[in-house]
Amino acid sequence: MANQIDDIVDIVISVQNAPIANNLQRNSILVSQGGTTLQAGTTQLVASPKDITALLESPLPISSIQWASGTVTVVVSGTIPLAAGASAQYTIAGVSPAVYNGTYTVTGVSSTSFTFSLSNDPGTTQTLGTATPAAVAEIRSMGNSFFAAGTAIATTVLELGLASGPDAVAALRAYLQEHALQNYVYVVPRSWATSQDFTLLVSSYDAPTAMTYFAVTATRQNMATVGPAFNTHKSVLLYAESDEDLATQNVFGAASLVYMIVSQNPTSTQKLLPIAPRTIYGVQPSKWTTVERGLFQKYFFNYPDTGVEAGLTSTLLKGNTYANGDFFEYWYASDDTAIRVHLALASAITNGNQNAINPLKFDQRGIERLQQVAQVTINALVAAGVLRPANPTTGTGIVNAVDDQTYQIQNPSDYHSGIYRGLSVTVIPARGFTHVTFNMALTDLVNSPS
């Protein structure tokens, strides 16, 4: 209905919109190092292992494979996306003699050939097989394990291209800088666990506000060195992979761990869960030695173990920690609180500036309205099992606000700029149990008081 200049009634409408949830904590990345047909630096959302299979590089038929003086030269039918002089991991399969078969660090020679080192002469070639980037098997196994527990949430494949270790880490650093705070957890290739370049990268994300994490895989062979390398980093989730899972080449346990994180969406009816001890799907436990279990405790590994102690036949994930020793819920709750309070306050200010009936002004009433918005958000986090309830005695969980008069006296320049920095709260993340001690006294004195 159009208004006329001489209408008796004039309707003025202002619009207030509910904020769209920030889903950062539900976003994850599976990092590929040349395993897909995606262009380097690009991503693809995937919702099932089938989606990942459709992205994989196809095996290239080998047209010639020859050994000479400790060097094998491989020529393929097709194009190798590896520059001359650059190195990458390739898997040779189906060749006879079988000595040729395996995964090697190869060096590009041309668009159709590469070389790798092999000490002994395998003999005359009888059957030609295929050459495939080793990253194909790895990204496939990441997808298998991520979706092993279900398809409640999609993930994203990030292709870095057939870059060597340092170059691949540099490529991820560039991606992170370009796409800051868009993804919560990155599942990185196994080989990165021993990369000094990667250790330097994760140190850039240890700040309380970084909200970026990396799932790093250690094996029985390297956990004693990987653990100390990441021991101070809250941005890292260490996962100890079992020999049984490594042998299959179809499992990537760190991706299963990440699914347990990003599939959560805490509400009053579906509260936040720890990641351990809990059933983990699609992975196998190992017969960890006492020494290895000691390393898990010392260096804060998450690891698969049998569920026998709990009377379960399924595999349990144990640990529930970041590499610096903080429990999982600690930083998840910190991030969730910061995200939700930020969103709620920004929405309140924006909507308040669009409401001519009751605008949000920089005065005592405006401060109280913002304080109430923040408190409602904190209360919702308590209901979602993210934070512990407010404690009037200690003041935790209660949003404080410096009153308008006091703030203006203490910060005389802020009013001119519309800046208010007087809201604050201390919160305690809610967490689960990881260990319980039960005390029992045994006696044969039937009539004696205990």
What's the chain look like in SS3? Answer: CCCCCCCCCCCCCCCCCCCCCCCHHHCEEEEECCCECCCCCCEEEECCHHHHHCCECCCEEEEEEEEECCEEEEEECCCCCCCCCCEEEEEEECCECHHHCEEEEEEEEECCEEEEECCCCCCCCCECCEEEECHHHHHHHHHHHHHHHCCCCCEEEEECCCCCHHHHHHHHHHHHHHCCCCCCEEECCHHHHHCHHHHHHHHHHCCCCCCCEEEEEECCCCHHHHHHHCCCCCCEEEEECCHHHHHHCCCCHHHHHHHHHHCCCCCCCCCCCCCCCEECCCCCCCCCCHHHHHHHHHHCCEEEEECHHHCCCCEEEECCECCCCCEHHHHHHHHHHHHHHHHHHHHHHHHHCCCCCCCCCCCHHHHHHHHHHHHHHHHHHHHCCCECCCCCCCCCCCCEECCHHHHHHHCCCHHHHCCCCCEECCCCECCCCCCCCCCCCCCCCCCCCC
Question: Are 302 and 334 part of one and the same domain?
Answer: no
Confirm whether pTM is higher than 0.85: yes
Q: Which two tokens stand for residue 265?
A: 């969406």
Cβ contact 133:89 at 8 Å:
yes
Q: What is the spatial distance between Cα 226 and Cα 222, in angstroms, rounded to a whole number?
A: 6
Question: Are 162 and 258 part of one and the same domain?
Answer: yes
* Residue 109 resides in a domain: yes
In the chain, how many domains are there? Answer: 3
Question: Are 216 and 360 part of one and the same domain?
Answer: no
Question: Are 257 and 196 part of one and the same domain?
Answer: yes
* Residue 449 resides in a domain: no
Q: Looking at this protein, which amino acid is placed at residue 123?
A: G
Residue where a domain terminates, one of 100, 119, 135:
135
Cβ contact 425:370 at 8 Å:
no
| pLDDT for 82 | 87
Residue where a domain terminates, one of 135, 163, 184:
135
Nearest partner of 384 among 47, 21, 27, 29, judged by Cα? 21
| pLDDT for 322 | 98
The radius of gyration of the chain's CA atoms, rounded to the nearest angstrom, is 28
- What CATH code is carried by the domain that includes residue 284? 3.40.50
Q: Is the dihedral of CA 321, 322, 326, 329 positive or negative?
A: negative
| pLDDT for 165 | 76
Question: Are 196 and 117 part of one and the same domain?
Answer: no
Cβ contact 285:265 at 8 Å:
no
* Residue 52 resides in a domain: no
Question: Are 259 and 178 part of one and the same domain?
Answer: yes
Question: Are 79 and 107 part of one and the same domain?
Answer: yes
Question: Are 128 and 262 part of one and the same domain?
Answer: no
| pLDDT for 444 | 86
Question: Are 68 and 111 part of one and the same domain?
Answer: yes
* Residue 6 resides in a domain: no
Length of the chain: 450
Q: What is the spatial distance between Cα 227 and Cα 240, in angstroms, rounded to a whole number?
A: 10
Q: What is the spatial distance between Cα 369 and Cα 349, in angstroms, rounded to a whole number?
A: 10
List per-block mean pLDDT (blocks of 10 residues) for the chain, which spans 450 residues: 65 63 92 95 97 96 95 95 89 95 94 95 94 96 95 96 86 96 97 96 96 98 97 98 92 97 97 96 95 97 95 95 97 97 95 92 98 98 98 97 98 96 97 94 79
Range of the domain at 101: 60-135
Residue where a domain terminates, one of 328, 347, 369:
328
* Residue 73 resides in a domain: yes
| pLDDT for 258 | 98
* Residue 118 resides in a domain: yes
Question: Are 257 and 347 part of one and the same domain?
Answer: no
Question: Are 225 and 290 part of one and the same domain?
Answer: yes
Question: Are 252 and 280 part of one and the same domain?
Answer: yes
Q: Tally the C-alpha atoms within 13 A of residue 89's C-alpha that lie toward its C-beta.
A: 17
